[in-house]
């Protein structure tokens, strides 16, 4: 089930975010930068800001199965452009359609908001995520392919795969 995120989801969201990030950051950056207590507190604060966004500013969705949070996605809308800021699936729920369902919920919201294109940045070593996004129609930005250690991807709403 995909639903709008709530403030009482924050602890579960922050923990899921930390587990998911560990899968692609581990061995590449120091653990305290993605899993330490200070980072967990910073992560929770960031998610609190995302939950507080109004419909015109963006939104946030949770995937839930049997009362357990299995994934989360957040986006902002800025100057008519959607920015997918986060999309994480708990690693124990990978390859079960959770990410695709969250992605579809974001696409629906973006289309209702009238945005024609979306942008995201994905960690350059997170090849699993890059493959997921490519399969869903996201393409590298030819003008700005990198933002530090992240790859910038764009999605045209007109070019989004059908069935999303």
Type and span of the H or E element at 119: strand 117-123
Q: What is the pLDDT of residues 46-91, one digit of tens each?
A: 888 888 887 788 999 999 999 999 999 999 998 888 999 999 999 9
Type and span of the H or E element at 120: strand 117-123
pTM score, two decimals? 0.84
pLDDT of residue 123: 87
Which residues make beta-bridge pairs with 150? 123, 147
Give the domain range for residue 98.
2-159
Task: Please name which of 41, 92, 49, 99 lies closest in space to residue 72, comparing C-alpha atoms.
Answer: 99
Examine residue 38 and state whether it is found in any structural domain, yes or no. Answer: yes
Examine residue 164 and state whether it is found in any structural domain, yes or no. Answer: no
Instruction: Kindly report which listed range (23-32, 44-53, 149-158) carries the lowest average pLDDT score.
Output: 23-32
Report whether 102 contacts 87 (CB < 8 A). Answer: yes
Residue-averaged pLDDT of the chain: 85
Examine residue 11 and state whether it is found in any structural domain, yes or no. Answer: yes
């Amino acid at each position: 089930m995909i639903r709008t995120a709530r403030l009482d989801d924050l602890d579960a969201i922050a923990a899921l975010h930390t587990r998911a990030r560990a899968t692609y950051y581990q061995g590449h950056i120091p653990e305290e930068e993605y899993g330490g207590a200070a980072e967990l507190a910073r992560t929770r604060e960031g998610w609190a800001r995302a939950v507080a966004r109004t419909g015109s500013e963006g939104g946030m969705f949770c995937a839930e199965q049997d009362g357990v949070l299995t994934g989360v996605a957040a986006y902002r809308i800025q100057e008519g452009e959607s920015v997918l800021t986060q999309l994480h699936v708990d690693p124990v729920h990978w390859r079960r359609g959770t990410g695709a369902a969250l992605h579809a919920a974001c696409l629906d919201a973006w289309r209702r908001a009238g945005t024609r294109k979306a942008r995201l940045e994905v960690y350059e070593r997170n090849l699993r995520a890059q493959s997921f996004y490519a399969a869903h129609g996201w393409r590298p930005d030819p003008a700005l392919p990198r933002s530090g250690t992240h790859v910038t991807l764009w999605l045209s709403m007109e070019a989004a795969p059908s069935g999303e």
